[in-house]
Structure 1
Amino acid sequence: MTPPPPSPTRRIRLGVDFHVWDELFQGSRSHILGLYRAAIALAPDIDFLFFLDGTASLQQAHAEFSAPHVSLVRMPKRPGPVRLGLQLPWLQWRHRLDLLHMQYKLPLLSWGRYACTIHDVLFETHPQYFEPAFARQMHYFCARAARRSALLLTVSDYSRQEMARQYGLNPEAIHVTPNAVDHRRFYPGQEGAAVVRSLGLEPGRYVLTVGRLEPRKNHVTLLTAYASLAADAPPLVIVGQRDFRHDAVFESIASLGLNGRVKVLETVSDTQLPAVLRHAQVFVYPTFAEGFGMPVLEAMASGVPVITSNTTSLPEVAGDAALLVDPQDAPGLAASLSSLLAKPRQASALATAGLAKCQQFSWETSARTLLAGIRHTCGG
């Protein structure tokens, strides 16, 4: 049953599935947090209801969620089928929502209208980088969300075009709310050097990549490129947790004889990561495919020169403020690394360009797009 649109005199009641707050820091968590911190400030006329387990920790970490038009509703942490099949349908009905904002997957029982953010459809366009069962599951949920959502959103024009192509949609019907950077966490300077040293790194003298240890992030090509650099090149630091087919990373390190030159850090915390980024000499992100590429933006905001791929969403995010390379071209990647390591002026110019580029992305701008879509959908 779908509730009628609110009258002009009635406040919009917007629910948000915020369960990602209770999980590991990742792109979808950064996105929904940054987006709604801005939206709350911009829309005192909307009643926001956030559904999550860690209500107290969210309020303690971010004062915006204590605003008078915000309600944090405890949704105990449960497996996905319970959350989608029982908890969210009940909360949607109980709180008489005008719209419920989800990411990727809609509740299994429908009680009203939905907004849904599908960050990417890489499981459709690049299925070789995903477990087949996962790709089939995501196809079902995202195709369903694309059909049933009253408001459909994504994070880049690349993702918008691919969503439209995969699901037979009009691209103009998909709203783009790009990611941005939390500049309170990611900024240039010398702060955090002690954190970097505590991890066994020398500030300003390491090449950094950040991303889960899985084939799509293309660590093997990066390791091959790095192995061709001079023996006195700064160490390569890989920050990321083990994921799908991660063994290839460690096998490549061993087979290329890089055990003494490559450091894999699997337990860098959310509070340590900004310092690790800030003190890198070069940031490299040669991923095969992304829906956006948040680490590129965070590295730019940290004042670090960036090398990234010339595929999918990365040219849209990086523009001419990074060196773009073919992710399958190990010699080309090695040449770009050698160039930035050997030419401080080039590296400095690229870092300056990156700082300017990341200013083009704003949570406030994305929140205004979101709120316009919500008001149009709800008749407010």
Structure 2
Amino acid sequence: MRKIKLFVDAHWFDDPFQSTCVFIKGLYTEIANDDRFELYMSAVDVELLKKEFNYSDKIHYLKYNSHSKYYRLAIDIPNLIRKHKIDIAHYQYVSPLIKNTKEIVTIHDLLFLDFTNLFPWHYRTVKNFLFKRSAKRSDLVTTVSNYSSNAIIKHYYIPKNKIILTPNGVSQDFFRDFSEAPLPDIKSRYNLKKYILYVSRIEPRKNHISLVKAYVENKIWDADTKLVLIGREDIAVKELDHYLNELPESLKQNIVQLKNIPFEELLSFYRNAALFVYPSIAEGFGIPPLEAAALKTKTLCSNSTAMSDFSFFGNDLFPPLDIETLSLKMAAKLKEDDVLRREHLSKFILENYNWKVIASNFSSDILNLFSK
């Protein structure tokens, strides 16, 4: 049997690194080593793409001619598929104008349809048209959670048998032996002793305000414990800005906001946190709490939307808008001695959110599609 020519639209790596990049990198780092496939990946910045995939010689790196999404979707992709005689193409959310091969479309979430108050009208209208068209035209739809699968069925009337679950995995970096290669000393560098951590870009649905209020109102800062928020601001949150500005200077000093943290430092922040809290209101998946738990860090996680799949967190799940409950859980968790439970959680995540297993299952789905 000849190799299946598989094309992956990797333009996401031309923009600031995000969860979609994590998904593509995790999945195709594994599939690149599968001899049943001949893998083609395309972006404008080919050198960066090569670096992300460790300069793998098992990938054909193709260059887009323009950063314009219109040019990419209307001209670049159809031309590349035709030139290289691609068998199957994989897109995130949106497929090109012309369909000239079999298509797989991954829709990570439809949060803008379930939480219309959190997204502008123009954003909702454009995304809905493009996502719906792509999903209906594709030969196979994949998504990352049961919540997102149900949303696709509900909003786009896609048959359940056309949707497959391909969840995010947790990188092996979170399970490695750190005694062999110690992580950066972030406590000295950032003048930290004990701290609570939240890793997420800033926008309304990420719900930083509930965590900050729980931290302030429960006077956790009084126990010499800081709050560290890591992530860039994507959408301004006026309520959060106003609340932080009204705090006394002595208290503000205990809330540390950082962005553009190098990966090794980020690992160190995760691993050294006294507690990781993930209060997001809406997610298509929600990987940071899994990363924290993989590193055996105490973790509290929202029980909303896709995070409801994380039933293995048990009593460490909480309703994200219930600040009183969050405050009580934070105080209790900081005092809790649960080393054995955290060991079990880390092992569970390694076994169930493993890119090798996820890629193997996805490869089988590709083969089934190719044989049709």
> Taking structure 2 as the reference length, what is the TM-score of the superposition?
0.92
**Are the counterparts in 2 of residues 235 and 263 from structure 1 also a CA contact under 8 Å?**
yes
Give 1:317-356 correspondences, 5 Å limit: 317=310, 319-320=312-313, 323-343=316-336, 345-346=337-338, 348-356=339-347
Aligned-residue offset at 1:77? 5.2
- Structure 1 residue 15 corresponds to structure 2 residue 7: yes
Query: 2:173 matched to which residue of 1?
Result: 184
Aligned-residue offset at 1:75? 2.0
Query: 1:315 matched to which residue of 2?
Result: 308
Deviations 1:2-52 (A, max 9, x none): xxxxxxx443211000112232221100001000111122x2021111112
Query: 1:237 matched to which residue of 2?
Result: 228
Paired with 1:155 and 1:275, the residues of 2 have a C-alpha distance of 27
- Structure 1 residue 26 corresponds to structure 2 residue 15: no
Give 1:144-155 correspondences, 5 Å limit: 144-155=133-144
- Structure 1 residue 255 corresponds to structure 2 residue 246: yes
- Structure 1 residue 139 corresponds to structure 2 residue 128: yes
* 3-state SS of 2:212 partner: helix
Give 1:281-296 correspondences, 5 Å limit: 281-296=274-289
Paired with 1:126 and 1:187, the residues of 2 have a C-alpha distance of 38
**Which amino acid is 1:140 matched to?**
F
Paired with 2:19 and 2:85, the residues of 1 have a C-alpha distance of 29
**Are the counterparts in 2 of residues 123 and 130 from structure 1 also a CA contact under 8 Å?**
yes
- Structure 1 residue 219 corresponds to structure 2 residue 228: no
* 3-state SS of 1:115 partner: strand
Deviations 1:281-323 (A, max 9, x none): 1000010011110111111112111101111111313523660
Paired with 1:188 and 1:201, the residues of 2 have a C-alpha distance of 24
Distance 1:200 1:20, change over 3 A: farther
Paired with 1:315 and 1:187, the residues of 2 have a C-alpha distance of 28
**Are the counterparts in 2 of residues 310 and 325 from structure 1 also a CA contact under 8 Å?**
yes
Query: 2:56 matched to which residue of 1?
Result: 65
Distance 1:112 1:290, change over 3 A: same
Distance 1:227 1:188, change over 3 A: farther
**Higher RCO (C-alpha under 8 Å, 6+ residues apart):** 1
Query: 1:45 matched to which residue of 2?
Result: 36
**Are the counterparts in 1 of residues 186 and 192 from structure 2 also a CA contact under 8 Å?**
no
**Are the counterparts in 2 of residues 321 and 354 from structure 1 also a CA contact under 8 Å?**
no
Query: What is the RMSD of the two structures over their aligned residues, measured on CA atoms?
Result: 2.1
Please say which of residues 213-222 and 259-268 is displaced more in the overlay.
Answer: 259-268
Q: What is the number of residues matched between the two proteins? A: 365
Please say which of residues 89-98 and 173-182 is displaced more in the overlay.
Answer: 89-98
Paired with 1:325 and 1:194, the residues of 2 have a C-alpha distance of 31
Give 1:291-306 correspondences, 5 Å limit: 291-306=284-299
Paired with 1:321 and 1:52, the residues of 2 have a C-alpha distance of 41
**Are the counterparts in 2 of residues 284 and 306 from structure 1 also a CA contact under 8 Å?**
yes
Distance 1:10 1:91, change over 3 A: same
Aligned-residue offset at 1:361? 1.0
Aligned-residue offset at 1:175? 0.8
Paired with 1:34 and 1:172, the residues of 2 have a C-alpha distance of 25
Query: 1:4 matched to which residue of 2?
Result: none
**Are the counterparts in 1 of residues 226 and 254 from structure 2 also a CA contact under 8 Å?**
yes
Aligned-residue offset at 1:278? 1.3
Aligned-residue offset at 1:161? 1.4
Aligned-residue offset at 1:76? 4.3
* 3-state SS of 2:321 partner: coil
Deviations 1:58-115 (A, max 9, x none): 4345347312xx3111224503222222211221222221111000011122222211
Distance 1:167 1:318, change over 3 A: same
Paired with 1:287 and 1:246, the residues of 2 have a C-alpha distance of 14
Paired with 2:114 and 2:4, the residues of 1 have a C-alpha distance of 36
Aligned-residue offset at 1:196? 4.3
Paired with 1:105 and 1:349, the residues of 2 have a C-alpha distance of 44
Paired with 1:349 and 1:233, the residues of 2 have a C-alpha distance of 26
Identify, as 1 or 2, the structure richer in helix.
2
Q: Return 5+ residue gaps in structure 1 as ranges.
A: 1-8
**Which amino acid is 1:247 matched to?**
K
Query: 1:378 matched to which residue of 2?
Result: 370
Aligned match for 1:99, one of 65, 76, 88: 88
> Taking structure 1 as the reference length, what is the TM-score of the superposition?
0.90
Paired with 1:15 and 1:167, the residues of 2 have a C-alpha distance of 25
Please say which of residues 308-317 and 249-258 is displaced more in the overlay.
Answer: 249-258
- Structure 1 residue 116 corresponds to structure 2 residue 105: yes
Query: 1:199 matched to which residue of 2?
Result: 190
**Are the counterparts in 2 of residues 221 and 330 from structure 1 also a CA contact under 8 Å?**
yes
Aligned-residue offset at 1:182? 1.0
**Which amino acid is 1:279 matched to?**
N
Aligned-residue offset at 1:210? 0.9
**Which amino acid is 1:372 matched to?**
S
Paired with 1:89 and 1:217, the residues of 2 have a C-alpha distance of 36
**Are the counterparts in 2 of residues 277 and 299 from structure 1 also a CA contact under 8 Å?**
yes
Distance 1:268 1:186, change over 3 A: farther
Please say which of residues 181-190 and 261-270 is displaced more in the overlay.
Answer: 181-190
- Structure 1 residue 364 corresponds to structure 2 residue 356: yes
**Are the counterparts in 1 of residues 184 and 265 from structure 2 also a CA contact under 8 Å?**
no
